[in-house]
Structure 1
């Protein structure tokens, strides 16, 4: 059995934070960190080895492509629906540019549908947690958001997702000032657990 350091694991879990793009310094994150994040995501639990996670990584000019795609899709859809908001359009067109990398998070449905969808979504969420923890271990900020075009059916082809697949949001990644790492807060675990003997 490998020699694990449980105290280090406990510390990593307790120090993980959602750190938003507005807090990023603009310094690029080393691509090795991103590769570590997605490799570790691949080791998430998966029922029947369906490995439903799919990721599309945007950086450099790719961030502008993502920004243009999502802002224009929002404009088309909201104009049709009669609820276009210029400030939301501008946010979608500029927010991606604050990040070093953005990882689009997809869930590909098992063609046999032999695993309940909720289990597939849960597997992807655990893969994202692995990315969060890896980023924390490298002192890198990240934030999982489900805004923008996440729930637009017409967005799926851009992310190479089929009709039964799901886009589950975006993991924004950026360098941060480590001296300003946010403090955490949680209510006591005893308020949320009942022990049955």
Structure 2
């Protein structure tokens, strides 16, 4: 079929609608994504929009034994900082969750003083969306988590982030054990106001 559009728009629409948050417990145990494919995902993330071209996204990729290093660090940091709110179940989850994934990508924001912080956060979120859509296109599962140690100041140095930077969570990647179910959205008409005059 001939089209005036430069890309296959039906395929693109299908890709957008196929994206799901797939948690690490749904990944195929022990099946490892080739590093070259992870690099492709990150390269596409790098093409996100960015005000003043600051490109604030920073990624630290944990694979192989590196996942254990991440697991140990986050569990120990949580234990050290939780105080009265410490929960053994949360501690155990932090120690085991990274090991369920093929790769875990820590998502950082490197602050630029000339751009409002919210715009830098938005740029990083766009980069993560690019990463997630690319993962979906390759049949991979992905899950962006902002729990655990994400917003602890003490976590930043471990990920190469400075005081003004932010840790915005972790993106877990793996092969999907069972295809995700149908996703739904409320009609766009409920969320859009048109002003035509």
Q: TM-score range by the shorter chain?
A: over 0.9
Q: Residue 3 of structure 1: CA displacement?
A: 2.7
SS at match of 1:82: helix
Separation (CA, whole Å) in 2 of partners of 1:97 and 1:72: 16
Equivalence for 2:180: 181
Between the aligned partners of 1:58 and 1:123, the Cα distance in structure 2 is 22
- Structure 2 portions without partners, runs of 5+: none
Structure 2 counterparts to residues 1-197 of structure 1, below 5 A? 3-26=6-29, 27-78=31-82, 81-110=83-112, 113-177=113-177, 180-197=179-196
Aligned-pair RMSD on alpha carbons? 1.3
TM-score by length of 2: 0.94
Cα distance in 1 between the residues matched to 2:161 and 2:77: 16
Mapped to 2, the partners of 1:32 and 1:181 lie a distance apart of: 25
Which ranges of 4 or more aligned residues in structure 1 deviate by more than 6 Å?
Answer: none
Aligned partner of residue 97 in structure 1, secondary structure: helix
Note the alpha carbon deviations across 1:25-49, whole angstroms, 9 max, x for none: 1211122221111000100000000
Give CA-to-partner distance per residue, 1:7-28, whole Å, 9 cap, x none: 1111110100000001001211
Post-superposition offset of 1:88: 0.9
State how far apart, in whole Å, the 2-side matches of 1:115 and 1:126 are: 16
TM-score (norm 1): 0.94
- The gaps in structure 1 that reach 5 residues or longer are none
Mapped to 1, the partners of 2:111 and 2:8 lie a distance apart of 35
Report the alpha carbon displacement of residue 92 of structure 1 after superposing the two structures with TM: 0.4
Q: Residues of 2 paired with 1:123 and 1:97: CA distance?
A: 29
Q: CA deviation at 1:5?
A: 1.5
Q: How far, CA to CA, are the matches of 2:28 and 2:135 in structure 1?
A: 15
1:32 & 1:140 partners in 2: Cα distance? 14
SS state at 1:196 partner: coil
